Every structure is written in structure tokens, then in C-alpha cells.
Amino acid sequence: MTPRTRADIPTAKRIVVKVGSSSISGDNAGQIGPLVDALAGAHERGTEVVLVSSGAISTAIPFLDLAARPTDLATQQAAAAVGQNVLMWRYQTSLDRYGIIAGQVLLTAGDLEHATPRSNAQRAMDRLLALRVLPIVNENDTVATHEIRFGDNDRLAALVAELIGADLLVLLSDVDALYTKPPHLDGAERIAHVPVGDALAGVEIGAIGRAGVGTGGAETKVSAARIAAEAGAAVLITATTLVAEALAGEEIGTWFDAAPERRTADGDSGLA
């Protein structure tokens, strides 16, 4: 059942957790261990967990002796090929402590826009979860072009949550919640709860995350949260450093209520 409040999170059957590049690359690569600890805790209590992880390109930067994130498509594609390999090795090495096997799932926007590849992706994800594998999803940046990209992995995570009928989507970044204005400004207040249909009138949606590394921001997270919530999944936005507290159901972050009727990627509706 879809969690109605944060306290219900431990009872969720299927969850999607998204982590951004700035949270698990560069100086923050050490956060992979605590992130895996939290995911393993949920996995061990029987929850089906999917991780949507950015970070392939940013992870490759030091290995390719690049000064910064590449801007040309060919180098981005090459960096993604190198970084995805390193990123999966880091995740699996950490998951080995719990005897959990990761499965890599790389998607393009076209995979979720067309019926046959979408059905294939859904079937593969369902089977991985049934086998108690922890799928790690990323955009297939090695083959994606600017014209066919998701745009950011927040949106990808929301579409994956819709695809697999997740009960909960957790969007992690460098900031602990959404605020009424950029959190570094005076007077910024945490938005604790967003009811269904709330337009967030008067809220100044600013940047979120470490500049120059990730591609998402607060605006993309709100947009992704609305996609997932409208599909029937509850959504929690918080910081990567608070992922253990988030999955334990503590009163942190920004909570988006799920729509009362669940919508799947195929357009079917039902009670959430």
C-alpha cells in the first residue's frame, strides 16, 4: 500500500530511491557506503528497492584527467562508459557486505515512450525484484543524444516509479528539503507537506545541489514529485545524508501526498 505519512514508509512494499551526482562523486564518493547501509536495511525487512543513480559522467572525470564535466556529447558519452563501470563496482563492493546483488539497468527516453521496450523494461525490473536483486538504474548516457535524453534523473526516477508501480519515491540531493525560497536566503522556511494539487504558490524554486556536477535542481525535483504523486506514489525529498532517517519514517524532508488513484505507465487506474 502507498504510505499515507512518513511513519508508513517502513511498510512500503516497493520503493524507488534516486541519488544525484553531487552526492556520490568526487569528495562525496564516501557517501555510497551509508547510502547502501540504508538501502540494505530496507531490503532486509522485505522491501523491494530500486536505486536510480546519477554520477557516471562525474565519476569518470578524475579517471580521464578532465578538469571539469565535459560539455561535448562525444566526451560525455565516453565518460559515461567509463564512469558507469566504476560506479557499479563501488555500489557492488559496498553491497557485498550484505550479500545483496546489484543489477544494472540502463534506459533511454525512447525505452519508456514506446510500448514494446517499456513492457520489456517493466518485465525485467519486476523479475529482478522477484529475485531479490537490487536494480541500479541510470540513463544510458553512452548512447543517448541531446534529442532523446530524459533531461535529468529526477524525471527518470519518477517514470521508473510509475513503470513499476512503486509505493514511494525518495529524491535525494545535497539539501534536506524544499524551502519557500533558496535555503541560503534569509526567511527561507522548510516546506514539510505538499497536498495533492498544491501549486506551491508563492514558493521561489531555486537551485539545489553542487554546481557544475549534477544536472537537476529543485524545479526538476518538484516536477518529478508531481509525476510520481499523480501516478499514485508518495514522494519524499530530502538530503542524501538523511537517507537512513528517511527510510525509517522520521519527520524530515518534504512530503508529497500520493493521488488517491494509482496510474501505471500503461494508463491503468486503481486505488493506491
**Known binding-site positions for ATP:** 18, 173-174
Residues ≥6 apart with Cβ < 8 Å to 259: 196, 229, 230, 231, 232, 272
> Where in the chain does DSSP place strands (E)?
14-19, 48-53, 102-107, 134-139, 168-173, 193-194, 234-239, 254-256, 261-263, 269-271
Angle 225-226-229 from CA coordinates, rounded to 5°: 85
Binding residues, as ranges, are: 18, 54, 141, 153, 173-174
Euclidean distance between CA atoms 218 and 204, whole angstroms:
10
Q: Are 106 and 67 in contact (CB under 8 A)?
A: no
Binding residues for substrate, as ranges, are: 54, 141, 153
